[in-house]
Structure 1
Amino acid sequence: MSLSNEHWVPADTAFTVPTNDFLSITSPSAVFALAIDHTLLKPDATAAQIDELCDQAIRYKFKSCCVNGANVEQVSRRLEGSGTLTCAVIGFPLGAGTTAAKAFEAKDAVERGAKEIDMVVNVGALKAGNFALVHADIKAVVEAARTTVKVILETVFLSDEEKIAASFLAAEAGAAFVKSLPRRVPGFSGGGATAADVLLMRKSVAIQAGRVRSRRPQESEAFDKCLEMFKAGAERIGTSSGAAIMESAEVAAGSY
């Protein structure tokens, strides 16, 4: 879809129809690594665990490390010069903060070194049909961040019509990606990224990011899930299992 010139969009992240090199992936490779947002969002994550996350991302040349705001400066310093980007989550996990708070959080994260922002959509406003608020919420974060913004859609809560509406609103507000995120916070919803959701959002806008999580030692199943998402149109996979997938590939390569 085309975007109005009044919306600021980074030149290298505009909604364009991609060639999607990820469709050719058959094994955990360097190309596969470029699609991975290496993620650690647990509330009890320690500084040592964050350093380990960064070191894994540097080793495998993942696209980004995605962390909570309190860890952004540490990650930015650790990743300096590596080519892996620092990504911060905004309004996580509920998306129910005020627009002003989200915009401030995004600006603060960028000032601390974030190169990408993952923001959670205001689910309640979306379901109530308050599309003006949803659009304003996303646009405020985009303008405050002035960098790549990915909009997390809580697809487990949404009808297909709401997923489509959210995807269009994200595009019109200047976001670079829409993203499906499984809720794994105790006391909240279950579910996760599905190929059907990816395909639906891909048809609504040009670029989509999914999130995949595995339970060890099922790394091969997690990789198969990634391939399923790529085939449906995903171009970025947010996962805490990226290193485990790559490590399994290394073991297999060295096996008789």
Structure 2
Amino acid sequence: MDVNELTRERLANMFDHTCLKAFAREEDFRKLCEEARDNGFKMVAINSSPVRFCKEILKDTPVHVGAAISFPLGQTTIETKCFETQNAIDNGADEIDYVINVGEVKNGNYAYIEEEMRRITEICRAAGVLVKVIFENCYLEKDEIVKVAQIARRVKPDFIKTSTGFGSGGATPEDVKLMKDTVGDDVKVKAAGGIRDWETCQKMIEAGAERIGTSSSFKILEGFDAAW
């Protein structure tokens, strides 16, 4: 995307406005939802437990409710992830961000990764819900990122995503470009983890990201306003 074509409104609508803290309370989720509604953010990114609460607040708005599945480690069975995905959808989730089993990538068990991706994507497709696959790139070698992205190109989830934000590192422009170059136009890329200012956000967009996961939405917009 050419950042010179971005307006403030288009940029805001790329944000998955995030609150994934273990100690978040209802008042925090209410504030998150109101901020997303009032500023035209695309989605609120939350754990699966508060999905129903947030959906009630956002039910008459265009803002999506996104549930993080098997978060942040991804170390649950495929069956568990499928159940959590369906449960989140039943509670009102419009989008699913699930964490792959990184350990199985390290085992070289790409058949497992493909089965996991296919089954979760099928559940989301049947419900008309978007699905994003979180790689957690900080734990992967470049060839592993490519191999998982190649699986995604076959399975065709809506997005592949760089990071949870809870790992040892977050998104990098290099990884975003690598992911986008691998999937081409078949799948979109979401950058998340450590994106806290406009300069960093801009690099992610220039590298090919079409969605930005951040808890620093307002700081990024302030930087965009100052730059333009």
TM-score under structure 1 length normalisation:
0.81
Superposition deviation, residue 148 in structure 1: 1.0
Residue of 102, 106, 115 corresponding to 2:94: 115
AA aligned to 1:86 is V
Could you tell me which residue of structure 2 aligns to residue 10 of structure 1?
A: none
One of 202, 209, 220 as aligned partner of 1:234: 209
* Distance (whole Å) between structure 2 residues aligned to residue 171 and residue 92 of structure 1: 23
Amino acid in the other structure paired with 2:201? C
Q: Could you say which residue in structure 1 is the equivalent of 2:156?
A: 174
| Map of 1:154 onto structure 2 | 136
- Counterpart CA distance in 2 for 1:183 and 1:84 is 22
Pairs within 5 Å for 1:11-50: 20=1, 22=3, 24-25=5-6, 29-50=8-29
- Which residue, 164, 167, 190 being the options, matches 2:168? 190
Letter in 1 for 2:214: T
Aligned to 2:181: 203
> Contact 1:212–1:237 (CA<8 Å) still a contact in 2?
no
* Separation (CA, whole Å) in 1 of partners of 2:182 and 2:111: 18
Compute the displacement of 1:133 (Å): 0.4
Distance in structure 1 (CA, Å) of the matches to 2:43 and 2:153: 22
Identical positions, percent: 35
CA distance in 2, matches of 1:178, 1:159: 16
Rounded Cα–Cα distance in structure 2 between residues aligned with 1:78 and 1:93: 25
RCO comparison, higher one (Cα < 8 Å, 6+)? 1
Q: Map 1:5-84; keep pairs closer than 5 Å.
A: 20=1, 22=3, 24-25=5-6, 29-84=8-63
TM-score (normalizing by structure 2) = 0.91
Match of 2:198, as an amino acid? F
Whether contact under 8 Å (1:182, 1:193) holds in the other structure is no
Task: Encode CA deviations 1:49-100: one digit per residue, 9 max, x unaligned.
Answer: 0000000000111010010011100111111121010100111111110000
Which residue does the alignment assign to 1:85? 64
- Distance of aligned partners of 1:183 and 1:237 in 2 relative to their CA distance in 1, 3 Å threshold: closer
Equivalent position to 1:213, from 187, 194, 202: 194
Q: Distance in 1 between matches of 2:101 and 2:141?
A: 15
* C-alpha contact (below 8 Å) 1:118/1:149 kept by paired residues: yes
The residue matched to 1:65 in structure 2 has which SS?
strand
1:103 aligns with 2:82: yes
CA drift of 1:142 comes to 1.1
Is 1:127–2:102 an aligned residue pair? Answer: no
- 2: CA distance between counterparts of 1:152 and 1:100? 17
SS at match of 1:234: coil
Check 1:23–1:134 CA distance in 2 against 1; reply closer, same or farther (3 A cut). farther
Deviations 1:156-204 (A, max 9, x none): 11111100111111232231111011543xxxx4211000000000100
> Could you tell me which residue of structure 2 aligns to residue 5 of structure 1?
none
Between Structure 1 and Structure 2, whose CA radius of gyration is higher?
1
In structure 1, runs of 5+ residues without a counterpart are 1-19
Query: For the structure 1 residues 99 and 182, does the alpha-carbon distance in structure 2 shift closer, same or farther, using more than 3 Å as the test?
Result: closer
